[in-house]
Structure 1
Amino acid sequence: MFDTIDLIVILLAILGLLGVVLEEVIHVNKAQSVLFFGATSWVLLFLSSMDSDMGHAAVITGLEENIGEIASLWLFLISAMTFVVYLNQKGLIETLIYKVLPSRVSERTLLIMTGTFAFLFSSIVDNITATLICVALVLSLNLDRRKTLRFAAVVIFGVNSGGVAMITGDVTTLMIFLEGKVTITELILLSLPAFGAVMVLAVLLARPLNEVAVIQKKSHPLAKVDYVIAIIFALTILSTITGNVMFDIPPVLTFLTGLSIMFLVARAFGQDTEDDPIMNYIRRIEFDTLMFFLGILLLVGALKEIHALDTFVKLYDVLPPWAANYLMGLLSALIDNVPLTAALLKADIHMDLEGWLSLTYAVGVGGSLLVIGSAAGIVAMSKLEDLTFGSYLKYTAPLLIAYSSGFVASLMLARILA
């Protein structure tokens, strides 16, 4: 049973979620509301633990772990986003995109191409970087509001689906792999149902699109240093993958190293000037997004501290594993999938390959059902003014159909492999 302080923390988490949902009604920035409720939750936990030395020490340890996770995420995001901001400002990303795109293409084909690109790109890099690149692509197309939202939904779903089958693409996939529940081969095969689900969504959302998009080729004057920094970015991504898999190097450390090399290279090429300091690109990052992450992770950390997330494990006592996994995917749209997965692994739930593969898919892709349910959705929402909690809800039905089709396909894959 929860005591009074636990119920208050849960209430604050609900209020924080409502603050995000009702942002347009209450006219309070979502980052401001969740940061207030997240920080307040921890303050209350400290105040309530003063009567017990052991309880107070546990809260201190919990906050230190929570802050450590947030700091690691922040530093990683700052590094990745600085690269992307620089390349976007210089026009390199837009130039490369227009070189790949045909001059004339139907909007339906363009939507499918966008979903495929989001899926493949997020299989290689982190979801944040993949979303930033894909959103830049969508913005460069200059589509109307309705079409832009459709493309955004496919991007969010595609990015989350692409990361689910690679240990470098999604943290929860890595966690399940490290626990020995699935193998690399099985995860790679999981990309088949995951990609199939993306195509299902693209087809469903492509129906009203029937115009031919004329792609106006654009190019920007690029300096040699811009290409060099683009190469550094690509090498940083590759080094992050190999370094983490082979030497267990944290991704944040690799990206910080890449960022420092970027600064030094810009200086060596004479691009770090008083008129255009290379460090200024850090200031151009969307810090609203980072503050929103901070508030959300503080709230989730507080819920984890009072063991509120452990109650979800009880689903496996009353439901078959596949049904519980499906619901876990739905819950991951409301609750961060990392602590949710950690709670399931810590509970030592016994499942066969079918159960673990379907869980890997569910917690990785389920966050796509709500725009606030994944890092990809939050980043996309910060970049696209028309993308809000309410506007994204319009695509709940096709998103749920796509998610369900991929989930069923993951069950079938596991039965074939068994």
Structure 2
Amino acid sequence: MINNVILFLVVISFVMIIIEDVIHINKAKTTLFFGTLCWILAFIFPIHNNSAAETSHQLNENLLEIATLWLFLMSAMTFVAYLNSKGFISALVQRVLPTSISERGLMFVIAIFAFVFSSFADNVTATLVSITVVMNLQLEVKKRLKYATLIIFAVNSGGVSLITGDVTTLMIFLEDKVTISNLLLLVIPSFLGVLTLATLLSLKLKGQVTLAKTRIKIEKSDIIIALIFVSTISGTLLANVIFQIPPVLTFLFGLSIMFLVANILPNRNKNHDVLNYVREVEFDALLFFLGVLLLVGILKEIGVLNGFTEMYQHFPPIAVNYVVGFMSSIIDNVPLTAALLKSGVDMKVTEWLMLTYATGVGGSILVIGSAAGIIAMSKVKELNFISYLRNALYLIIAYTVGYIGVYFAANWALA
């Protein structure tokens, strides 16, 4: 009986995630409410007649996974929040982009910029910065929609190869399904998918655009913080590969260096309150992850996730993973990935890499399938479900090219 009640509550929660824009209730609120409620019910009405100690042990295991994810994301988001607030990111973009460029050339510049930037920053920041560049140009509606479509796909593609770029990649890595060196194999196939989409979208572009530039001063202190951020990312990757140091530990160490260095930099009066930038972290996103992982954790305990295992037993993992990419454009990729990880699916490293790509990039197929798509819709008024769907064939082709590329790259490198 209690299993059915919990399953019913979880279904309601996931439905409310999907219709968030209709009911206007933040998904962080609903997932946190239902996630905690389900675990409270598990204590009051024990699952499988578990003792309170057994239920507490199960909860503690879930909370440990959540805490690791939380602390890592909080550290990375604090760095980005600081640099964004200081105008460093906007100033950097101004210097990278040329003054005048063809529309077709701009398509590839935007693709490369969004792809690279999203590997280090969160998807929301990468999308906002890239969309702002496009919105400042005097473009026709159809052309603006093409650039927005490319940005969504490029941002999602750029994050899959680094644990700092995509939450689902981080989740799969933390479960020891892939290593950092394995994930680097996704870079070229993901980029190939982005270039494929940029090529398809630029076929009919022939005009020239001029980018208006406002000179934004970059403070030396901000450059130092940016270097600490980059060093933290590279140090995290190297420390894990060489010494197997958990990324959350090295990222927190890098954050502590940022806090200490900010106090001795020039313009100390502007930097002594650097701790305050923790408050600018998007805690609604972190609370959403908390709620989702609590929900998926309870689904595992009541045995619902066994269905995923059966799916992989009846069909080749390569085919199932490809379809999972399409599923992630409808169902949020965080609970989808969490469910797959909790289900105990047994796959080879190559197949886990293909799943990583599918869940990270597949959400781009529909505009509602990723945070990047939702952010882009809020900034580009002409962008909606239907207008984005017009490029669905191009998106599917690009996604498929990247997916096939992952298959060949992983099999060649891991053979």
Instruction: Please indicate, yes or no, whether the TM-score normalized by the shorter chain is above 0.5.
Output: yes
Matches of 1:248 and 1:241, distance apart in 2: 9
The question of 1:22 aligning with 2:19 is answered yes
Match of 1:171? 170
Matches of 1:148 and 1:69, distance apart in 2: 41
Match of 2:346? 348
Match of 1:329? 325
Match of 1:49? 46
Superposed displacement of residue 206, structure 1: 4.4
Long gaps (5+) in structure 1:
none
> Is residue 263–residue 271 contact of structure 2 (8 Å, CA) maintained in 1?
no
Match of 2:131? 138
Match of 2:6? 9
TM-score (normalizing by structure 1): 0.80
Match of 1:339? 338
Residues 342-382 of structure 1 deviation map (CA, whole Å, 9 limit, x = unaligned): 356x4435x6x875654453344334445675xxx336746
> Is residue 85–residue 285 contact of structure 1 (8 Å, CA) maintained in 2?
yes
The farther-off stretch of 241-250 and 101-110 is 101-110
> Is residue 128–residue 375 contact of structure 2 (8 Å, CA) maintained in 1?
no
Residues 103-150 of structure 1 deviation map (CA, whole Å, 9 limit, x = unaligned): 122344333323223334455x4xx53652453232244358876665
Superposed displacement of residue 223, structure 1: 2.7
The question of 1:395 aligning with 2:382 is answered no
The question of 1:244 aligning with 2:240 is answered yes
Change (3 A) 1:72 1:211: farther
Change (3 A) 1:49 1:404: same
Match of 2:86? 90
Letter in 2 for 1:286: E
Change (3 A) 1:183 1:237: closer
The question of 1:259 aligning with 2:260 is answered no
Match of 1:31? 28
Matches of 1:413 and 1:50, distance apart in 2: 44
Change (3 A) 1:5 1:117: farther
Matches of 2:17 and 2:387, distance apart in 1: 17
Change (3 A) 1:283 1:343: closer
Matches of 2:69 and 2:225, distance apart in 1: 22
Superposed displacement of residue 167, structure 1: 7.1
Matches of 1:35 and 1:402, distance apart in 2: 35
Local SS of the residue matching 2:209:
strand
Match of 1:157? 153
Superposed displacement of residue 245, structure 1: 1.5
> What is the CA RMSD across the aligned residues, in angstroms?
3.7
The farther-off stretch of 214-223 and 148-157 is 148-157
Percent identity of paired positions between Structure 1 and Structure 2: 41
Matches of 1:14 and 1:360, distance apart in 2: 24
Matches of 2:258 and 2:208, distance apart in 1: 40
Matches of 1:294 and 1:147, distance apart in 2: 38
The farther-off stretch of 334-343 and 212-221 is 334-343
Matches of 2:286 and 2:180, distance apart in 1: 33
Which of residues 129, 142, 163 in structure 1 aligns to 2:122?
Answer: 129
Superposed displacement of residue 192, structure 1: 3.5
> Is residue 104–residue 215 contact of structure 1 (8 Å, CA) maintained in 2?
yes
Matches of 1:146 and 1:39, distance apart in 2: 45
Matches of 1:378 and 1:229, distance apart in 2: 27
TM-score (normalizing by structure 2): 0.80
> Is residue 377–residue 384 contact of structure 2 (8 Å, CA) maintained in 1?
no
> Is residue 103–residue 205 contact of structure 2 (8 Å, CA) maintained in 1?
yes
Match of 1:302? 298
Matches of 1:203 and 1:296, distance apart in 2: 37
Change (3 A) 1:183 1:141: closer
Change (3 A) 1:86 1:380: farther
Residues 63-117 of structure 1 deviation map (CA, whole Å, 9 limit, x = unaligned): 2222222222222222222211221222211111111111122344333323223
Letter in 1 for 2:346: D
Local SS of the residue matching 1:218:
coil
The alignment of Structure 1 onto Structure 2 pairs a total of residues equal to 401
Residues 150-201 of structure 1 deviation map (CA, whole Å, 9 limit, x = unaligned): 545434433443444567763366469x558x995x7655544332222233
Matches of 1:274 and 1:101, distance apart in 2: 29
Match of 2:227? 231
Match of 1:115? 111
Letter in 1 for 2:61: E
Change (3 A) 1:107 1:250: farther
Local SS of the residue matching 2:122:
helix
Local SS of the residue matching 1:268:
coil
Q: How does 1:166-205 map to 2 (within 5 A)?
A: 170-171=169-170, 174=173, 184=181, 188=184, 190-205=186-201
Superposed displacement of residue 293, structure 1: 2.4
Match of 1:73? 69
The farther-off stretch of 100-109 and 150-159 is 150-159
> Is residue 123–residue 372 contact of structure 2 (8 Å, CA) maintained in 1?
no
Local SS of the residue matching 1:241:
helix
Residues 25-66 of structure 1 deviation map (CA, whole Å, 9 limit, x = unaligned): 222222222222222222222222178344x43432222222
Change (3 A) 1:19 1:360: closer
Letter in 2 for 1:23: E
> Is residue 72–residue 252 contact of structure 1 (8 Å, CA) maintained in 2?
yes
Change (3 A) 1:372 1:291: farther
